Amino acid sequence: MKISKMLITSLLVLFWMFPIYSQSVNDTLFIASWNMENLFDAIDDPNNNDEEFLPNGKKEWTQEKIDSKIENQAKVIKWMNNGNGPDLLGVQEVEHRQLLDTLLARNFKNKNYKIAYVESLDKRGIDNGLIYNADKFEVINIKPIEVELPSKYPTRYILEVKLKSKSGEEIFVFVNHWPSRGGGEEKSQPNRIKAALVLREEIDLLYQDNNNLNIVIMGDFNDMPNNLSIARYLWTSDYNCSTIIEPNRLYNLAYQDFTNGNGSYLYRGNWNMLDQIIVSSDVVGKGNVKYICDSFHLIKPDFLIQQDGKYKGSAKPTFGGKTYLGGYSDHIPVAAKFLISK
């Protein structure tokens, strides 16, 4: 059988074009962070100050209330990413990993979600964790980073998780829950500055080995993007689509929303952008993990948000003072979208 020269030429063109095309295909990543507001079990842990969240404690915390909270929070997580759920979800204020195990087992049997988690030194027993889509990532390493405060009072670990995507890209994720503003912002500020310095030191160590890093920092920082801890000591910059990128700098994706008066936590009538996502220069520059410009947003389904009253616009919490409301969390989750090269 004779094959025409035109057909051979066409086949050769297709052959050479195919690998070029396949290398340019990208996968979208949806990365979120959420302070889950006192996700406690109802079992007394002698190592934790969890007396408030026991059946005979101030909150009268029962298995029925736990189940309700878990179902509520699963509803929010399912709503994320247009109903597809997140690919990475950093969580804060979880007492034990088993609570996340229960959340996933009951509500996400159709997703290959796994958990990176380490029990911290926090006296209340609340920890940071990372839920990740194991169809897209594998965990290479989990590292708890201790923050020794000036007062020596134990606080949460910063959770460092090194991931590798199915395309081979490495991503360093840091999940944070920095010390609270208890006692006032000024008095407690040195604690958050210390957390920032510890995190910055860890990032600088990573840069000693590699100048091209995909870093995603997320969590509840208990400070705003322009506070000293984040802007100066963590050395972050605000970011918009026209920002000129500097090597080894960190860029705060939440900054624009913050300057527009938005926030993730309502306190005494004022919006606070406590929950943020911060990335390395490669992620907003020329790296293979690329932030989709203007995709940072607050996750605000109607069922999560209070629609009227004094706290209109804020997230519906589990408790309002001593009153049980049966809500979700007092924080609004934050998220951003990324493209990762295959």
DSSP state of 87: S
Bridge partners, residue 114, by sequence: 132
Cβ atoms within 10 Å of 44's Cβ, excluding its own: 13
CATH number of the domain at 128, please: 3.60.10.10
Q: Which element (helix H / strand E) includes 151?
A: none
116 in a structural domain: yes
41 in a structural domain: yes
18 in a structural domain: no
13 in a structural domain: no
DSSP state of 2: -
DSSP state of 8: H
How far is Cα 159 from Cα 118, in angstroms, rounded to an integer? 7
Q: State the number of CA atoms in the 13 A half-sphere of 93 facing the CB.
A: 20
**Residue-level pLDDT, tens digit, the chain, 342 residues:** 444 555 444 444 443 444 433 444 578 999 999 999 999 999 999 989 999 999 999 999 999 999 999 999 999 999 999 999 999 999 999 999 999 999 999 999 999 999 999 999 999 999 999 999 999 999 999 999 999 999 889 999 999 999 999 999 999 999 999 999 999 998 999 999 999 999 999 999 999 999 899 999 999 999 999 999 999 999 999 999 899 999 889 999 999 999 999 999 999 899 999 999 999 999 999 889 999 999 999 999 999 999 999 999 999 999 998 899 999 999 999 999 999 976
Domain that holds residue 169: 25-341
2 in a structural domain: no
Q: State the number of CA atoms in the 13 A half-sphere of 170 facing the CB.
A: 10
225 in a structural domain: yes
1 in a structural domain: no
pTM to 2 decimal places:
0.92
Angle at 91 between CA 90 and CA 96, to 5 degrees: 130
Query: Residue 4 has which token pair?
Result: 């025409």
Sign of the dihedral through C-alpha 45, 46, 51, 57? positive
The total domain count for the chain is 1
What type of residue sits at position 109?
K
100 in a structural domain: yes
How far is Cα 337 from Cα 224, in angstroms, rounded to an integer? 21
